[in-house]
């Protein structure tokens, strides 16, 4: 029994050790890939299943996550679920099938660089050597166990791996194999290829596969042999081919004017290669950096300004051609070492509406990352519609594709008066009008010309030159204290003014404003401003009625916005001032069933009855009572035929202008009868009072006579 128990414990301990080892290996091998994959934000679908407290992470690659497009370890390790196979020198998807000797973190990628980039012809033969650094995966140790070969000029040579120095060394090649003619050439560029077990070794910068042999007669002692040169290596996206381009200027003492282009496919040089066309982001030193503008009218004529890195070097001693969305850009001219200009040619039936800008330098063709578009500009509206004959109006022309082309010109009116362009964007153009051609008011179309070829007229609206606004003479202006009454204003050249207001200064000096609406070039409608103080009579000897009806003359004027300035329009001198009347007083009303008579005071002062006066029966929503007569103390209106009931009309709602409103009560119908009754009753009371007074007088007299008589009788009795 004890032996059985000991055996079980031993088996359990072994199983436990195996479990611990399996978990440890899983964490060490799996976690870096998972962490590295989730560190980068790309389109991957990740599902997490919790089973017995163990997190099993499954990464499903999106169709856009194509690992094979990455050609170097650094690019591959940036992609989620991708790893760089050091054995196969390719980017593989290892989410489901991990393999040994792979790298999925960019910082762990080994770096391969050429030890020597050049050699002099006098020091040939030359041995190509490549150094491997940052080797965290034992890649050099693996290479040492493989068959390494080097190739140059179509010939293969043996290579060796030095594990102590972490280098790959190729056999030396002499000039008989390279074929360098120092009598005719200053330099030559050669490509070295390195393979291990038939697998091409891929370096981070493909330019390290190329080395240069210089003519010592020209280059010995020159410190900067690549002064002014540009070079670029790139992978073709549509195939496995690679390209390398190098160009040096004529001023370089060592190289002179030099150009080299090599395209390799499958490790072999492609002598039938087409023009060198690197991707837009592949060569920072020689790329189309900007194109201005990016839109042009379909008619052509636009001058483009194109900025190209090292344009002066690339264009040296040869012709440059430019195409814009497939259309020729003619008359290319070099402005400086970075800038070229050209003019977009006329349209053709087969032209595309959009596309990139391409600049061709011999075998090199650079393509912009920007898309150029041909558009059809359409100016649709303008504001304001008028301005002074002196010019200076800021005119805004709205439309579509208004920023198309390199130049734009605007003209106004039949005389094509220039309008100076100040700014423009995709949806509008701003310009300042010039003075009218003959200094007189005139109206006409507004025309926009793009690149001196495409002439477009604003579709809606015309611009009018107008004279300075003025007010007509013989215009009285009056209102009531509450304001809001209608004031018609006549003048000239009013259609161009904006933000029109009338102002009145009250007796205390406070200024009150009210709005005006311009109707046409000669008329605008205003409302009288409300004033706080009611008018007072200037003469102390005047009666109360006279003082309440007399107006107060106040200073007034008009303020408008004209030609981007605030202008005060003073009234003509034939009218002394603004007449302010006290508000009307509505006492009561009477009706005979058809006509309504309103009694009061100042009922015809300071307003226009045909415009300002409104009378409604009963309330604010009642039927209108048509006004037929307005006098100082009464207003008569006629009730509509549909409302002739006399018994239920008790109130009227009266408004004068927009600010003054009153409810008027009906005068009682029995007032006259009550007066009559009160008169008769008073006479009767007076009669009764007279009779009583007379009776009292007679009674008092009788008592007095009796008293006298009684006294006399009493005296006689005692005598």
d(CA 615, CA 662): 10
Question: What CATH number does the domain containing 571 carry?
Answer: 2.60.40
**Alpha carbon distance 292, 571 (integer Å):** 55
Could you tell me if residue 281 is inside a domain?
no
Number of Cβ atoms within 10 Å of the Cβ of 144: 15
C-alpha closest to that of 210 among 146, 294, 119:
119
Q: Could you tell me if residue 262 is left (phi over 0), alpha (psi between -120 and 50 degrees) or otherwise beta? A: beta
361 in a structural domain: yes
Q: For residues 600 and 558, is the Cβ–Cβ distance under 8 A?
A: no
- Same-domain pairing of 228 and 120: yes
Residues 491, 618 within the same domain:
no
Per-residue pLDDT of 567-585, as tens digits, reads 888 887 777 789 999 999 9
Together in a domain, 366 and 484: no
The three-state secondary structure class of 4 is helix
Phi, psi of 268 (to 5 degrees): -115, 145
Answer whether residue 175 is part of any domain: yes
- Which pLDDT score, from 0 to 100, does residue 535 have? 52
CA atoms in the 13 A half-sphere facing the CB of 691: 5
Q: 251: closest CA among 230, 229, 231, 232?
A: 229
Give every CB contact of residue 290 below 8 A, 6+ residues apart in sequence: 306, 307, 370
- Nearest 5°: the CA angle 679, 680, 684 is 120
Q: What are phi and psi of 291, to 5 degrees?
A: -135, 125
Rounded CA gap, 89 and 78, in Å? 16
**Domain-located, residue 539:** no
Whether residue 190 sits in one domain with residue 306: no
- Residue identified by tokens 């050790």 is 17
Beta bridge partners of 665: 651
Contact 581, 604 (CB under 8 A): no
- Final residue of a domain: which of 225, 240, 270? 270
Q: Cα–Cα distances in Å, from 15 out to 18, 22, 56?
A: 5, 11, 22
- Residue 80 domain flag: no
Residues 263 and 305 in one domain: no
DSSP code of residue 533: S
Contact 491, 471 (CB under 8 A): yes
Which whole-number Å values give the CA distances from 399 to 363, 407, 414, in the listed order?
Answer: 43, 16, 22
| Helices and strands in the chain: count of H runs, count of E runs | 9, 54
Strands (E), 493-602: 498-505, 511-520, 523-527, 552-554, 556-562, 565-569, 578-581, 585-591, 595-601
Q: Which domain holds residue 313?
A: 288-375
pTM greater than the 0.85 cutoff: no
Q: Could you tell me if residue 489 is inside a domain?
A: yes
Residue 157 sits in the same domain as residue 168: yes
Q: What is the pLDDT of residue 6?
A: 46
Give the pLDDT of residue 564. Answer: 74
Q: Which of 466, 481, 498 is the last residue of a domain?
A: 466
Helix (H) or strand (E) holding 193: strand 193-196
**Are 431 and 319 within one domain?**
no
Listed residues 466, 486, 511: the one ending a domain:
466
Judge whether 129 lies within some domain: yes
Two tokens, residue 101: 């000797």
* DSSP structure class, residue 32: H
CATH at residue 308: 2.60.40.10
283 occurs within a structural domain: no
- Low pLDDT (below 70) residues in the chain: 1-65, 96-98, 266-267, 271-274, 532-548, 644-647, 669-682, 713-719
**What is the end-to-end Cα distance of the chain in Å, rounded?**
184
Overall number of domains in the chain = 5
Is the same domain home to 439 and 384?
yes
Q: Is 5 helix (H, G, I), strand (E, B) or coil?
A: helix
Give the Cα separation of 581 and 478 in Å (integer): 8
Q: What pLDDT, on a 0 to 100 scale, did the predictor assign at position 423?
A: 95
> Do 531 and 481 touch, CB atoms closer than 8 A?
yes
**One-letter-per-residue 3-state SS of 301-360:** CCEEEEEECCHHHHCCCCCEEEEECCEEEEEEEEEECCEEEEEECCCCCCCCCEEEEEEE
Instruction: Judge contact between 489 and 537, C-beta under 8 A.
Output: no
Q: What are phi and psi of 313, to 5 degrees?
A: -70, -45
Q: State the Cα angle at 287 between 281 and 292, rounded to 5°.
A: 110
Give φ, ψ of 426 to 5 degrees: -65, -30
- Taking the alpha carbons of 415, 419, 424, 430 in that order, is the dihedral positive or negative? negative
Give the containing element (helix H, strand E) for 655: strand 651-656
Q: Are residues 179 and 236 in the same domain?
A: yes
Residue 128 near residue 192, CB atoms below 8 Å: yes
Q: Please tell me the distance from the alpha carbon of residue 443 to that of residue 466, in angstroms, as a whole number.
A: 8
Q: Given the structure tokens 């492609």, which residue do they identify?
A: 270
Label each residue of 461-477 as H, E or C: CCEEEECCCEECCCCCC
Residue-wise pLDDT for 366-400, tens only, equals: 999 989 999 999 999 998 888 888 888 899 999 99
Do 331 and 190 belong together in one domain?
A: no
What are the residues facing 163 on neighbouring strands?
none
> CA-based Rg of the chain, rounded to a whole angstrom?
53
Q: Are 168 and 235 within one domain? A: yes
Q: Are residues 445 and 594 in the same domain?
A: no
């Amino acid at each position: 029994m004890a032996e059985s128990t000991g055996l079980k414990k031993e088996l359990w301990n072994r199983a436990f050790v195996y479990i611990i080892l399996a978990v440890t290996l899983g964490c060490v091998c799996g976690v870096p890939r998972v962490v590295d994959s989730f560190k980068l934000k790309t389109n991957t679908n990740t599902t997490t299943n919790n089973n017995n407290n163990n997190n099993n992470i499954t990464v499903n690659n999106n169709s856009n996550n194509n690992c094979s497009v990455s050609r170097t370890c650094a690019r591959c390790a940036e992609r989620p679920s991708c790893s760089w196979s050091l054995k196969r020198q390719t980017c593989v998807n290892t989410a489901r099938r991990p393999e040994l000797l792979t790298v999925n973190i960019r910082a762990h990628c080994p770096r391969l660089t050429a030890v020597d980039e050049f050699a002099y012809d006098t020091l040939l033969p030359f041995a190509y050597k490549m150094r491997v650094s940052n080797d965290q995966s034992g890649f050099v140790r693996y290479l040492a166990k493989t068959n390494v070969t080097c190739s140059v000029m179509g010939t293969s040579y043996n290579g060796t791996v030095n594990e102590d120095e972490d280098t790959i060394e190729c056999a030396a090649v002499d000039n008989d194999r390279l074929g360098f003619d120092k009598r005719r050439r200053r330099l030559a560029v050669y490509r070295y290829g390195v393979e291990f077990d038939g697998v091409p070794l891929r370096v981070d910068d493909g330019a390290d596969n190329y080395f240069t042999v210089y003519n010592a007669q020209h280059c010995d002692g020159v410190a900067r042999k690549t002064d002014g040169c540009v070079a670029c290596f790139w992978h073709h996206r549509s195939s496995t081919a690679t390209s390398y381009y190098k160009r040096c200027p004529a001023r370089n003492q060592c190289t002179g004017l030099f150009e080299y282009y090599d395209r390799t496919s499958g490790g072999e040089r492609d002598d039938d290669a087409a023009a060198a066309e690197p991707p837009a982001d592949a060569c920072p030193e020689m790329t189309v950096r900007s194109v201005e503008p990016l839109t042009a009218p379909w008619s052509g004529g636009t001058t483009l300004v194109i900025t190209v890195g090292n344009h002066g070097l690339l264009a040296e001693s040869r012709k440059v051609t430019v195409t814009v969305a497939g259309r020729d850009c003619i008359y290319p001219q070099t402005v400086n070492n970075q800038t070229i200009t050209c003019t977009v040619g006329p349209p053709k039936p087969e032209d595309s509406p959009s596309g990139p800008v391409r600049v061709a330098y011999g075998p090199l063709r650079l393509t912009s990352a920007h898309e150029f578009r041909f558009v059809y500009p359409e100016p649709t509206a303008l504001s304001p519609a008028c301005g002074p004959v002196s010019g200076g109006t800021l005119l805004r022309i709205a439309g579509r594709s208004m920023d198309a082309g390199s130049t734009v010109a605007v003209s106004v009116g039949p005389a094509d008066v220039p309008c100076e362009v100040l700014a423009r964007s995709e949806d509008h153009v701003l310009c300042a009008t010039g003075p009218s051609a003959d200094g007189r008011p005139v109206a006409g179309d507004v025309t926009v010309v793009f690149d001196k070829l495409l002439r477009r007229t604003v579709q809606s609206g015309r611009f009018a030159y107008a004279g300075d606004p003025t007010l007509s003479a013989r215009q009285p202006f009056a209102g009531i204290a509450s304001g809001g009454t209608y004031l018609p204003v006549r003048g000239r050249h009013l259609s161009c003014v904006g933000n029109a207001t009338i102002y009145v200064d009250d007796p205390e000096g406070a200024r009150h404003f009210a709005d005006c609406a311009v109707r046409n070039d000669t008329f605008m409608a205003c409302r009288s401003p409300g004033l706080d103080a009611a008018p007072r009579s200037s003469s102390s000897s005047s009666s109360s009625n006279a003082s309440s009806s007399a107006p107060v003359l106040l200073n007034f004027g008009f303020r408008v916005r004209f030609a981007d300035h605030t202008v005060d329009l003073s009234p003509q001198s034939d009218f002394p001032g603004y007449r302010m009347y006290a508000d009307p007083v509505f006492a009561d009303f009477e009706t005979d069933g058809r006509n309504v008579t309103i009694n009061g005071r100042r009922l015809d002062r300071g307003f226009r009855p045909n415009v300002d006066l409104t009378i409604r029966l009963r309330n604010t929503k009642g039927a209108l009572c048509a006004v037929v007569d307005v006098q100082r103390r009464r207003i008569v209106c006629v009730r509509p035929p549909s409302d002739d009931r006399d018994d239920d009309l008790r109130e009227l709602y009266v408004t004068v202008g927009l600010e003054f409103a009153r409810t008027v009560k009906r005068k009682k119908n029995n007032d006259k009868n009550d007066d009559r009754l009160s008169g008769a009753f008073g006479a009767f009371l007076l009669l009764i009072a007279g009779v009583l007074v007379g009776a009292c007088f007679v009674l008092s007299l009788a008592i007095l006579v009796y008293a006298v008589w009684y006294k006399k009788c009493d005296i006689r009795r005692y005598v």
